[in-house]
Amino acid sequence: MSVVSAPAAALSDLFARTRLEGRAAFAAYLPAGYPSAEEGLDALLAVADHADLVEVGVPVQHAHLDGPVIQNAHRRSLDGGFEMGHLFEVLRHLTNHTAAAVLVMTYWAPVTRFGPDRFAQAVSHAGAAGVLIPDIPPDALEAWHRAAGRYSLDTVQVAPRHGDHHALKKACGQSTGLVYAPASHGVTGGSAVIDRRLHEFVAEIRQLTSTPVGVGFGISTAEQVRQAARFADAVLVGSAVVKRLGSGGADAAAALVRELASAVHT
């Protein structure tokens, strides 16, 4: 059994605290290196002042599960010269200078290029609590879990909304730290309303696992955060924060996150 390091304990510590406070955690997503390396780091640090959990994205050319806002941000980061070493630098800054827990969101392709074991080691040493890989192939899961476990990283799985009960049960059983429940169908980006069946979906997940459940993919307003916080353990917002950063800079993004985060307290 691996020894749990302080960073890896961050998700369990976070949810223990929010349970005591009787509220959901609030999480914000931004890709590393957007809109530039310096501005992106400033934005992540500013956002972390108001979020319980910061999800740092690894930019890729083909972010097929993301909508146009995040896709464009990924392209701009890559055009600006993003390299994997920049991710680890960002993680170290966040974990050394903020109280927020940190989660990495990445597609599988950059992990395979870097090397799964090497990636897990670098992410853990940089202080992140875990990794979310939404498109990891089933035949790669066992090797990834071994690598993540070796370095005491949580592996967050996306719960399939279109799969059968067996697929959902398997995803829940493979997830540690947090189960990610999509709030809407399709790619990331805000929806006008929360799917009315989301509450039922989260309840179904809770029948399969005691792991905390986070809701994301389609949450963009304070009212939606407030609604989701009534039945989820965490509420995650991405596209709205990325969009605000692009239009108004780090201060504007931080102000939006402060507004959204306040909704989990009401």
- Told to judge if 223 belongs to the known catalytic residues of this protein, a careful annotator would answer no
- Told to judge if 142 belongs to the known catalytic residues of this protein, a careful annotator would answer no
Q: Which residues of 174-210 are buried (b: 16+ CB within 10 A; e: fewer)?
A: bbbbbbbbbbbeebbbbbeebeeebbebbebbbebbe
- 8 A C-beta contact, residue 87 and residue 35: no
Among 42, 52, 55, 233, the active-site one is 55
Among 66, 89, 164, 259, the active-site one is 66
Tracing tokens 């992410």 back to the chain, one arrives at: 123
Which is it for the CA torsion 181, 186, 187, 193, positive or negative?
Answer: negative
Distance separating the N- and C-terminal Cα atoms of the chain: 40
- 8 A C-beta contact, residue 80 and residue 37: yes
Residues with catalytic annotation?
A: 55, 66
